[in-house]
Every structure is written in C-alpha cells, then in structure tokens.
Amino acid sequence: HAEEESRFVADRPRSAALAAEAADALLAGVPMPWMTRWPGAFPVFFETASGARFTDVDGREYVDLCLGDTGAMTGHALPAVTEAITERASTGITTMLPSTDAAWVAEELRRRFGLARWQMAMSATDANRFVLRFARHLTGRPKVAVMDWCYHGTVDETLAVLDGDKVVPRPGALGPQVDVALTTRVVPFNDLAALEAALAHGDVACLLMEPALTNIGIVLPEEGYLDEVRRLTREAGTLLVIDETHTLCAGPGGATRAWGLVPDILVVGKPIGGGVPAAAYGVSQEVADRLGPQMLSHDIDVAGVGGTLTGNALALAAVRRTLSVALREEDFAVAIPLAQRWADGVARGIAEHGLPWHVQRLGARAEYWFCPPPRDGAAAAAAVDEELEAFMHLWALNRGILLTPFHNMALFSPHHTEADVDLHTEVFGDAVAALLG
Ligand code: PLP
C-alpha cells in the first residue's frame, strides 16, 4: 500500500497543490465531505469529464467506473443535454413559475415508472424528506420504517440502524438525532418476520426502502421477498415507498419495473438530471386522489414539501433532455452486458487465485465482495474490509480506473467499451497477484 501511496502522490503534483489550497478555505478541505473518502493522500481534482472518462488537473486520463456514484449514470456531458442546459441557462432559470417542460417531464416519468402523478425535488434526499412528510400527513401515523444499513440521503429518520433490537443512530453519525427510536423502526433486509412485527403496532406511516440495498454493497432481495413486502405493507395500511435512486441501474423503469413491484410512492434522483441537481417522486392514483386536492387547498401549509429552487427551469430542461436521449432501453442494452463482462472478468481472476471472494451484479452495476454475498445490511457492514478495499481502489486509480469510493463497485454507461472492461480485468488480476505476493 505504501508503494501505491508514493506513486499516487508523485503522479499528481497539481492535485496535491490544489488540495493544500482548498484545505485552508473549505471546512472539510473539499466541497462535499464524502469527497474525503477516496483512497490516496488527497482527492484527485478533475479538469474535464466526458462520456465514460475524465481527465485530472495533472493531465492523467481515467476510465470512470464510479460515474458520480450514479449521478452520471448516463455518462458525462452528453452533447444533447449540454445543449439543453446551455439554452435554458441563457433564457432564465428561477422565476417561481412553472416552465414549459413541466408536464412533459411528469408524463415521461409516469410512462417509465407507472406512478400516476409526479412532483419535483432538488435531490433524492429532498424527495425522501418530502415523501416522509406526506406519508405521515396521509396516514396520521408518527413513525417510518427503513431497512437496517439503508441509505436514503441526509434524512434524519433514516440514519438509524439496529443494535440488537434497539433502534440507534448510525455508528459515528455526525449530530445524531436525540432519539431516533421515536421516529423510526428498523428492520433487516430479507427478513419478513421482522417487518411484520415492525408494522404490527399500526403506527408506521410508510416503509421507505430500496428494492435491493446498494449503499452497503449490493444486497439482492431473495425470491418472493418483495411480493411479501408489498402484501404486508398493504395489509398494515403502511405506504410502500421505493427509492430507485441507485437501482435505476436495473433498467429504464428501475428495479420496480424490471421485477414487477408496484409501490405507492416512488423516488428517483441523481442521474435523471444528466448531472444537474434534480429529483422527483411519483404517487399512485389512490395517493394522488387524497393528496392532490389537499395540496391545492390553502388550508394546508405546504411549507415542508418544497423549496424556492425546487422544479426550477434548468432542472426541468435537463431532466427532459436526459430522459429523451439517455437511460433508455437501448442504452441499458449496451451498459448491462458491459457490467456482465466486468463481473465475468473479475470472477475469472477470483477463480484463478482460488480466493473466497464473490461477484454481485444488478443491471448496469456490479461489484466484488471479499466473502460470499451477505443477505442483509448488518452482515454486509460486518463484511467490509476497508484496508483491502482501499488497496484495490488505489491500485486501480494509479492505473487509470476510478471505482466507486464505497465498496468495490463499478457502474456502466453506454459510453464505456469492452476495452475499458478488459483493462479493469487485467488491472484487477495484477492487484490480486501483487497482494498474494
Ligand atoms: N437515495 C439513495 C438510495 C441513495 O443512494 C442516495 C445517495 O447515495 C440518496 C437517496 C441521496 O441522494 P442525494 O445525495 O443526491 O440527495
């Protein structure tokens, strides 16, 4: 690792200088605290990003398998999207009035995801916060349920895990809530008995979950699990909210469409704006019939479910053009086989060295584990080997490949090539050989 660290530093003098400068002015030394989580002595500063590649300020080119942790699932700076953004930016962005793209965007989201009515948000965090409020408003119930080791953005109620049977803040959480047990029930993924017990009190407004966990590594639902989740939530009068922000990698209508799951509310963020901050949530006809008239009524204070820049004209123009030219059936038809090729290459390397590691894939996204794939979030959290992960990432980074900073994940866009995948297979094999000495 020390050798890789030295190589990292020696190759990137300009990033080092910019990092030193930023360290003095920015609270975390970077504009967003997660940017401190990369391997290497300092963050790599990027200059330009296009398609599936980016160039850093030292002129080094990389294959981007992180794609902004799905924020750039489409590939970077698609010319058609850039054109729409530029045009809208020059004709005005923020007026507090709807722009001409609003209905098109909502209709396209309805066509893709099946939910009847749509509303915009600035980010997936934002959308999830709004949805939790609506769910409480509609059901009159105080609590929400989430999966153990889930991640739904910086939403207080969801930053909770199980400690035995107690609900506690995530370990090390910065500024944890006073008592997360008051707001949240936490259940292990793939555990139907625990879900049934959590809903039995009749006080859970909604269950917010990803169809597969993606933020503690990919944890796939077991056969029949999601159907039972749907049945149990319906029986309990608890709204089922599916967060497709990451699982959109499963296809143009996300994992819900791929797997035939029908939620009451669906949240989608990150990639839909082609890089511009934008998110949306859709609600079923039944929820819309109850909620729509209330939102129009001046008796209800809607202060908690929108912001000045929510649904701004730039976001709407970016979403419209992105959904017109990217994240379509034909795009996933290119990206998913690339993810499969990546997974096959890694699996071959694992088999060659007889390691107990495993590969997991969900649509256009794949990853490797240093153990068999776990069935729930706690097992996934326990399986994380940060040191080994950091070595694999740094090795790849030094050879021109950026993996997602958390876990060993790779995400594919239609702009990647088989040569990109084969480069990773080679680099991965060399890293393992170096590890085993
Ligand atoms: N929901 C899921 C499933 C996520 O993975 C994330 C971020 O990783 C979010 C919501 C929050 O997205 P944002 O940080 O863009 O608000």
- ipTM of this predicted complex? 0.99
pTM for this prediction: 0.97
For the chain, give the number of residues: 437
∠ CA 123-412-420, rounded to 5°? 140
Ligand 1, atom 14: nearest CA belongs to which residue?
A: 153
Q: What was the pLDDT predicted at 36?
A: 86
Q: Round to whole Å and give the CA distance between 196 and 190.
A: 12
Q: What was the pLDDT predicted at 305?
A: 86
Q: What was the pLDDT predicted at 176?
A: 81
Q: Cα of 372 to ligand 1 centre, how many Å?
A: 26
Ligand 1, atom 7: nearest CA belongs to which residue?
A: 153
CB atoms within 10 A of CB 197: 13
Q: Cα of 121 to ligand 1 centre, how many Å?
A: 12
Q: What was the pLDDT predicted at 405?
A: 84
Q: Cα of 270 to ligand 1 centre, how many Å?
A: 7
Q: Which of 73, 130, 151, 407 to mutate to test the pocket of ligand 1 (most atoms within 8 A of CB)?
A: 151
Q: What was the pLDDT predicted at 295?
A: 82
* Type of residue at 253: G
Ligand 1 site, CB within 6 A:
69, 123-125, 151-153, 210, 215, 243, 245-246, 269-270
Q: Which of 152, 244, 276, 407 to mutate to test the pocket of ligand 1 (most atoms within 8 A of CB)?
A: 152
Ligand 1, atom 1: nearest CA belongs to which residue?
A: 152
Residues of the chain with pLDDT under 50: none
Q: Are 118 and 172 in contact (CB under 8 A)?
A: no
Task: Please state the atom number of ligand 1 nearest to the C-alpha of residue 279.
Answer: 15
Q: Are 280 and 120 in contact (CB under 8 A)?
A: yes
Q: Are 191 and 376 in contact (CB under 8 A)?
A: yes
Q: Cα of 11 to ligand 1 centre, how many Å?
A: 32
CB atoms within 10 A of CB 142: 11
Q: What was the pLDDT predicted at 257?
A: 97
Structural domains of the chain, with CATH: 2-76+328-436 (3.90.1150.10), 79-325 (3.40.640.10)
Q: What was the pLDDT predicted at 292?
A: 85
Q: What was the pLDDT predicted at 34?
A: 85
